[in-house]
């Protein structure tokens, strides 16, 4: 089974959803109730803010205020997101988060998956999300991204920065963005199971586990 996850590293629900999804995968792949079907998880590119200029330093609060109709509503949304994240063990610091263009981050994520495998890609994804939402780091900065990715992968920082200096991943990320449109994805996170079944949004862990188990059962039944 292949589960493709369209998400963005500046999407709060993508981080919350990843924590919940990872717990579900852990339950599905270990212990007495583990499934026999191998599960491969692949992260795909989606940009919530593709027009964000490179080098911008605008606080995310300003972006939310413009998007959601004013600072008062933006503050309520941020407070609710922070409280929800806390319930899942995350310490969101959206007061220090800045608007960012995530194209470089997606190129690194594609390259990581292609060269180091899905487990490394998942670690890099977590590193980027954590850097943005809990540390206020600029996830559009080449040096920041290279350092985060190299640490998560266990490779040289120069490997990542050299990759970014070329065109590696540009076409593939563009294709993933186009695939999202083809799948009718208009919001993230979206989880697509074997290219057929979609789970929209940051569901709770039990829901993720239940839906994936049912998908595996359906797949096994159709093969008989």
Count, residues in the chain: 224
pLDDT > 90? residue 31:
no
pLDDT > 90? residue 222:
no
Would you say 87 and 48 are in contact if contact means Cβ atoms under 8 Å apart? no
For residue 42, give the H/E element and its range. strand 40-45
pLDDT > 80? residue 21:
yes
pLDDT at 187: 96
Please, what are the domains in the chain? Answer: 2-223 (3.40.30.10)
Q: Tell me whether the omega of the peptide bond preceding residue 189 falls within 30 degrees of 0, making it cis.
A: yes
- Residues 184-197 pLDDT 10s: 999 999 999 999 88
Q: What is the mean predicted confidence (pLDDT) over 147-155?
A: 99
pLDDT at 46: 99
d(CA 66, CA 84): 22
Strand-pairing partners, residue 6, are: 44, 190
pTM: 0.96
pLDDT at 54: 85
DSSP string, 102-153: -HHHHHHHHHHHHHH-HHHHHHHHHHHHHHHHHS---TT-HHHHHHHHHHHH
> Shortest CA distance to 93 belongs to which of 84, 101, 82, 102?
82
Q: What is the mean predicted confidence (pLDDT) over 111-121?
A: 99
């Amino acid at each position: 089974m292949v589960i493709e996850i369209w998400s963005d590293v500046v999407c709060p629900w993508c981080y919350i959803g990843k924590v919940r999804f990872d717990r579900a995968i852990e339950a599905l792949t270990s212990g007495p109730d583990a499934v026999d079907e191998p599960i491969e998880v692949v992260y795909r590119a989606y940009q919530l803010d593709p027009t964000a200029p490179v080098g911008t330093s605008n606080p995310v609060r300003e972006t939310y205020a413009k998007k959601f109709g004013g600072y008062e509503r933006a503050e309520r949304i941020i407070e609710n997101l922070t409280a929800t994240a806390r319930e899942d063990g995350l310490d969101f610091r959206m007061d220090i988060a800045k608007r960012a263009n995530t194209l470089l981050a997606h190129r690194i994520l594609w390259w990581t998956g292609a060269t180091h495998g899905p487990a490394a890609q998942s670690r890099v994804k977590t590193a980027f999300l954590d850097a943005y939402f809990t540390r206020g780091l600029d996830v559009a900065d080449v040096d920041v991204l290279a350092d985060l990715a190299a640490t998560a992968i266990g490779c040289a920082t120069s490997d990542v920065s050299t990759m970014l200096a070329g065109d590696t991943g540009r076409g593939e990320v563009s294709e993933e963005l186009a695939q999202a449109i083809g799948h009718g994805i208009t919001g993230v996170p979206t989880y697509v199971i074997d290219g057929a079944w979609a789970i929209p949004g940051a569901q709770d862990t039990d829901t993720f586990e239940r839906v994936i188990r049912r998908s595996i059962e359906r797949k096994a039944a159709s093969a008989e």
